[in-house]
Structure 1
Amino acid sequence: MPVLNSGQKDLDLLIDAARAAGDIARGYFNASPEVWEKSGGQGPVTEADLRVNEQLSTDLQSARPDYGWLSEETEDSPARLSTNNQFIIDPIDGTRAFIEGSKDWAHSIAIAKNGIVTAAVIYLPMRDAMYTATLGKGAALNGTPINALPDKAIATATVLSSKLNIDPKFWAGPVPPFKRAFRSSLAYRLALVAQGQFDGMLTLRPTWEWDVAAGALIVTEAGGAVSDQTGLTPVFNNPYPQINGMIAAGGIHPKLVAALT
């Protein structure tokens, strides 16, 4: 029987937790779950988000009690800053899509060490799509390796982005003439870039770590590149858990960064 390294053991733990989370979330999907609006205009949260968060907290923290915990649906604690490894979790990324009955929502689950994500899962239960990556071991969709797209002319590229990012104020010159597409879940956008379904994605606003931690590793392990909007490599488990936007892409990544202000 093969001996699993710590990275594979962590990834297997995340996969099992994601499947359990999917079982819970499917029970609330299209079943009129209770919905609340978060304070400060942070958007909606449903009873499914909270129930999934509870399950993930129980399963993951019992398996790795020495790992720190950062989740969208858990009050943050500075205790995570003194740990060597951290779980970075979005129980349901794309809550609005979940409420609206779209399939484009995901569980985003990552482990970081020294600011670097080392294992990651993005799981879309309604699509049975399990995106996975371990640092240095490549990325996969349902066990099959995936790769980001190579470089091309930006005019022929397709980029996942909200309309807000097309505002000329963000760009050094004319907005690049790429074709824009959209998915409500940031995690799913990143996964689709890693899969080679789109050339890139971008979000040009302060971005919560739990939205992008898992996807950042999956993109880079698929051969793509990830940065904040200034081109810097993101670091995770910050005291205030936000990064300065995110650009993730295959070969067109340098072109997107260079085009921004």
Structure 2
Amino acid sequence: MQETDLALLSDAVRLAARVATSYTGRSARFWDKPDGAGPVTEADLAVNACLEATLRLSRPDYGWLSEESEDTADRLSRETVFIVDPIDGTRSFQEGSRTWAHSVAIAHQGRITAGAICLPQRDKLYTAAEGCGAFLNGTPLSASAGREITGCELLAARPTTDPDHWHEGVVPGFRRAYRPSLAYRLGLVGEGRFDGMLTFRPTWEWDIAAGAIIVAEAGGICSDKSGAALRFNNEKPLLNGVVAAGRDMHPGLITALRR
């Protein structure tokens, strides 16, 4: 079932890419969400409508959780749920940049079983299904095998270098890089181009769901910032931060963080 679900997700994000790229970024109408939740554009809503119609028609028994849909309790009674970020990196899209993504995943009983991340402007399609490996444009992926944190390269926002986050206030000597899309950051970790990624703030499930299985199926580990396994389709769909890295490095990162 995971393979047929993944084929559905892969087709859906390709369709989403055609919808999103029919808008022109800077000229797309946009407005700010309530309570400082960030911007949304007409392209976000058009992609969300396209994905919901396509995916729910194909799997009417699956629940639905999306950044751009009103959340309801219905999904909590479903064993299997779509978790969707129509455009991850809306500000990047709005600015006319290329670093934004469509991120779509399926969770079964809280565990991600299939995921797809598409970056239309970078010609990248990351895919993974449980037990089937992770791929970029059909080529198998392998996460970094590095063990040492000192000198490694991590994707993270600047606040992660605040000593308050680290054991005894000692920030490991890693090199920091940044990409505006959390989904893309996880894809890059699965790709082995970066050794890991960190975010310590509460993180929405739709930002992480597809990337989590891509990292795992590439041989890495994706957990919350305490090292606990991620569980999805929670009543409040927020995760306690995210730490993703190759299997050898992940335990050291968790140990280095302040508990």
TM-score range, shorter chain: over 0.9
Distance 2:25 2:232 in 1: 34
Identify the residue that residue 243 of structure 1 maps to in structure 2: 239
Distance 2:3 2:199 in 1: 30
* Aligned counterpart for 1:191 among listed residues 170, 187, 203: 187
Is residue 88 of structure 1 aligned with residue 100 of structure 2?
A: no
TM-aligned CA deviation for residue 31 of structure 1: 5.0
Q: After superposition, what is the alpha-carbon deviation per residue over 1:81-126, rounded to whole angstroms, capped at 9, x for unaligned?
A: 1111000000000001111111110000000001000010000011
Query: One-letter code of the match for 1:57?
Result: E
Equivalences for residues 1-261 of structure 1 within 5 A: 6-30=1-25, 32-173=27-168, 174-250=170-246, 251-261=248-258
Contact 2:76 2:235 survives alignment (8 Å): yes
Distance 1:73 1:24 in 2: 15
Query: One-letter code of the match for 1:221?
Result: E
**Which deviates the most, 152-161 or 228-237?**
152-161
TM-aligned CA deviation for residue 168 of structure 1: 1.0
Give the unaligned 5+ runs of structure 2.
none
TM-score under structure 2 length normalisation: 0.97
Distance 1:47 1:256 in 2: 39
Alignment size in residue pairs: 256
TM-aligned CA deviation for residue 187 of structure 1: 0.2
TM-aligned CA deviation for residue 21 of structure 1: 0.2
Q: After superposition, what is the alpha-carbon deviation per residue over 1:117-146, rounded to whole angstroms, capped at 9, x for unaligned?
A: 001000001111000000011000001100
Identify the residue that residue 3 of structure 1 maps to in structure 2: none
Query: One-letter code of the match for 1:203?
Result: T
Query: One-letter code of the match for 2:95?
Result: E
TM-aligned CA deviation for residue 191 of structure 1: 0.2
Tell me the SS of whatever aligns to 1:27: coil
TM-aligned CA deviation for residue 65 of structure 1: 0.3
**Which deviates the most, 150-159 or 60-69?**
150-159
Distance 1:111 1:72 in 2: 15
The percentage of aligned residue pairs carrying the same residue is 55
TM-score under structure 1 length normalisation: 0.97
Tell me the SS of whatever aligns to 2:189: helix
**Which deviates the most, 165-174 or 176-185?**
165-174
Query: One-letter code of the match for 2:256?
Result: A
Contact 2:26 2:96 survives alignment (8 Å): no
- Structure 1 runs (4+) deviating above 6 angstroms are none
